[in-house]
Chains A and B, each alone.
Chain A
Amino acid sequence: MNLQGNWAFAKAGIKVWSAYRFEGIVMMLSTPISLIIYYFLWKSIYAYMGTATVGGFAFPEMVNYYILSMIVGFVTWSEVDKWMENDLIWGRMITGLLKPISFITWYMSFEIGINLMNILWQMIPVFLIGFVFFGLRTTTAFNTIAFLISIVFAFFIYFGMTYCLGLTAFWLKRIAGLRRLRRATLGFFSGSFIPLTLFPAWSQTIFHYLPFEYTKFVPITIYLGTITKAMIIKSLAIQLLWIAIIYFIAHLIWKRAIKRYASVGL
């Protein structure tokens, strides 16, 4: 692998992020706002329900959950399917194809560059805001390290799935509808919108066999320490397994897609 080349493209991602610094500032300011909205939303839900816990979460835990959900989201965020769709429609895909770099790492490096900026300018501020204003608690060294590893794995799972969807643009050209479906599916089944423990038990069992919860819910539970050490190790192993499966599928689709690549936008 051409690491120097990959890093060069990650740097390009960083520069593109910086080129739109106003956008960056707005995003940085908007995150605490959505945190406040979730805070009051759940506060009223707890008041309405009149119970101490909802889905096994006490109110402070629930706030912790949403802060962590945001933090994980900054690392895993990927819109590679959008880049791919646009590049294909506007005939810009040749730029990547003409570089001595594999197609997937071309996009992945760029996305990593952007996410590094997200971590610096959004994730770290949210961490700090969480600690100071919203009672985000710390966790053991083991859980912290496992959490950091699992969010990196989560990025690769999230990116891999999004990339597979992006590849379908080789056949379908426009995939805006599918992308919307992808965002909704990932948001819902990964536990971004509501914690997965609020779902019925049978559906939770199904979730264990799908990759979605490993992009968000699992890393959060690792941080919160609601699962045992053995379970944490097992979760990390399952994440690795999903990475292997998803990238194998991506490779198979890619092999067909490149032969398919024809007069698209030429």
Chain B
Amino acid sequence: MHKEILPFPEKTIMHFFHTDHPRVLNLPLKYNIYGFQQNLSSSKQAHTKKGEAMPIIHVKDLRKTFKVYKREQGVLEAIKSLFSRKYTIKEALKNASLDIEKGEIVGLIGPNGAGKSTLVKILSGLLWPDSGEANIIGMTPWENRIKYVAHIGVVFGQKTQMIWDLPPIDSFYMNKDIYGTPDSEFTKRLKEMISLLEVEEVIKSPVRELSLGERMRCEIINALLHNPPLVFLDEPTIGLDVIAKDKFRDFVLKVNKKYKTTFIVTTHDMQDIEKLCKRIIIINHGQIIYDGPLEDIKKKYITDKHIEVKLSGKVGPFKFKGCKVLEKQGYMLKLELDTSKKPVQQLINYLLQNFDVADITVTDPPIEEIIKKIYKE
């Protein structure tokens, strides 16, 4: 579907809607938690008969603006603001459109304040957009909030959805009753998830006493126990250590594979994206500026590698074509290589031959750099 990257955002969006007929799911969805999956699977069969994939999310032209109050710092300004306030209109989302198929893991990335969270909140039924349409698992999230949220799971890395004063296990059982998950299914899933995420000991202490890593692992269990076909993860790995991040990612991949759960992940962690997502959506200033395979964007935009070299001796004169010195300091050298001009191996060979190298680390430039690059085009 996404064979090439088109440089202009408009084209990217058009590229997405190459079919004229709106791919809207007209499921005869009634609010019935037990019946839901049967509905879903029967309609899936109907679609497979036609030989067409079914989008689980179809969103068109979403717009959202916020009023933002502004004032200068200082006590006097604070008192002034009691009587008159200045505000500006911030366009958080401009004509966002996207389609997502069942079973995809899509990364939603963009710098702070780009509109990612706004998009996730609209898609999960928390915010009303100013305009636009959506059909997600057969519903418009903000209009059918109560029915809709029964079929999704949401994890916000920044806040808890479990009851603060109670152990996670109580929140799990509360959700079981709220979503009406059958006993046998609930017990099976709970057992499975607890062992996958290794939280046997954790789930019996009050949430407020858990470490961030422990809490986040419980958080995802809490969001997935009712087996939602669609899950939003908003910065799920923020503040986690490397091991916890790894566990979290492995878990998401396993659930995705086993239950065909669709995941939408917003993150600032490039590792999250690389481990989890085949497709990414880049958003900036409220606009979707790229939507397509991660591989393509890497080939096209990550032409630079950052190389950090530690030497056993002082840094001597350095010259290599296509390579920029970012920092030169005592025994350390930070380089940026344009891989379209020279491959990394050649630079490493050059370094090994000409310098007394103690250590070399090669990394991709941070995600912000890529977004900057894309946005410049």
* A interface residues, Cβ below 8 angstroms from B: 2, 4-5, 7-9, 11-12, 15-16, 19-20, 90-92, 94-95, 97-102, 258-259, 261-263, 266
Known: A97-B126, A98-B161, A102-B146. A8 touches B66 (CB 8 A): no
Which residues on A sit within 8 Å (CB–CB) of B147?
100
Within 8 A of A (CB), among B329-349: none
Which residues on A sit within 8 Å (CB–CB) of B33?
100
Select one of A16, A97, A263 contacting B125, CB under 8 A.
A97
Please give me the residue from chain B that is nearest to A265 by CB atom.
Answer: B159
Q: Can you give 6 contacting A-B residue pairs, CB < 8 Å?
A: A2-B178, A8-B174, A8-B175, A94-B126, A98-B125, A100-B179
Select one of A5, A8, A20, A261 contacting B126, CB under 8 A.
A261
Please give me the residue from chain B that is nearest to A263 by CB atom.
Answer: B66
Q: Decide if A266 touches B146 in the complex (CB within 8 Å).
A: no
Which residues on A sit within 8 Å (CB–CB) of B149?
97-100
Task: Judge if B274 is at the interface, Cβ distance under 8 Å.
Answer: no
Which residues on A sit within 8 Å (CB–CB) of B170?
12, 15
Task: Judge if B269 is at the interface, Cβ distance under 8 Å.
Answer: no
Q: Decide if B128 touches A259 in the complex (CB within 8 Å).
A: yes
Q: Decide if B177 touches A91 in the complex (CB within 8 Å).
A: no
Q: Decide if B146 touches A16 in the complex (CB within 8 Å).
A: no
Select one of B66, B126, B177 contacting A4, CB under 8 A.
B177
Which residues on A sit within 8 Å (CB–CB) of B146?
100-102
A253 nearest CB across to chain B (Å): 16
Task: Judge if B163 is at the interface, Cβ distance under 8 Å.
Answer: yes
Q: Given known contacts A98-B126, A101-B146, what 13 new A-B pairs fall within 8 Å (CB)?
A: A5-B177, A5-B178, A8-B175, A8-B177, A19-B166, A94-B161, A95-B160, A97-B126, A99-B178, A100-B146, A100-B178, A102-B146, A263-B66
Which residues on A sit within 8 Å (CB–CB) of B118?
263
Q: Decide if A12 touches B156 in the complex (CB within 8 Å).
A: no
Task: Judge if B372 is at the interface, Cβ distance under 8 Å.
Answer: no
Q: Decide if A20 touches B165 in the complex (CB within 8 Å).
A: yes
Q: Decide if A16 touches B163 in the complex (CB within 8 Å).
A: yes
Which residues on A sit within 8 Å (CB–CB) of B180?
2, 4-5
Select one of B127, B128, B159, B178 contacting A8, CB under 8 A.
B178
Which residues on B sit within 8 Å (CB–CB) of A95?
160-161
For the complex, what is the distance from the CA of A12 to the CA of B125, rounded to whole Å? 24
Task: Judge if B324 is at the interface, Cβ distance under 8 Å.
Answer: no
Known: A5-B177, A98-B126, A101-B178. A12 touches B166 (CB 8 A): yes
Known: A98-B154, A266-B117. A91 touches B159 (CB 8 A): yes
Contact mask B163-203 → A, CB, 8 Å, 1/0?
10110001101111111100000000000000000000000
Q: Decide if B174 touches A262 in the complex (CB within 8 Å).
A: no
Which residues on A sit within 8 Å (CB–CB) of B163?
12, 15-16
Which residues on A sit within 8 Å (CB–CB) of B159?
90-92, 94
For the complex, what is the distance from the CA of A90 to the CA of B180, rounded to whole Å? 28
Which residues on B sit within 8 Å (CB–CB) of A102?
146
For the complex, what is the distance from the CA of A151 to the CA of B208, rounded to whole Å? 35
Q: Decide if B128 touches A258 in the complex (CB within 8 Å).
A: yes
A215 nearest CB across to chain B (Å): 28
Contact mask B55-72 → A, CB, 8 Å, 1/0?
000000000001000000
Which residues on A sit within 8 Å (CB–CB) of B365?
none
Please give me the residue from chain B that is nearest to A110 by CB atom.
Answer: B163
For the complex, what is the distance from the CA of A259 to the CA of B143, rounded to whole Å? 11
Q: Decide if A98 touches B124 in the complex (CB within 8 Å).
A: yes
Task: Judge if B138 is at the interface, Cβ distance under 8 Å.
Answer: no
Please give me the residue from chain A that is nearest to B33 by CB atom.
Answer: A100
Which residues on B sit within 8 Å (CB–CB) of A15?
163, 165-166, 170
B43 nearest CB across to chain A (Å): 20
For the complex, what is the distance from the CA of A11 to the CA of B163, rounded to whole Å? 12
Task: Judge if B206 is at the interface, Cβ distance under 8 Å.
Answer: yes
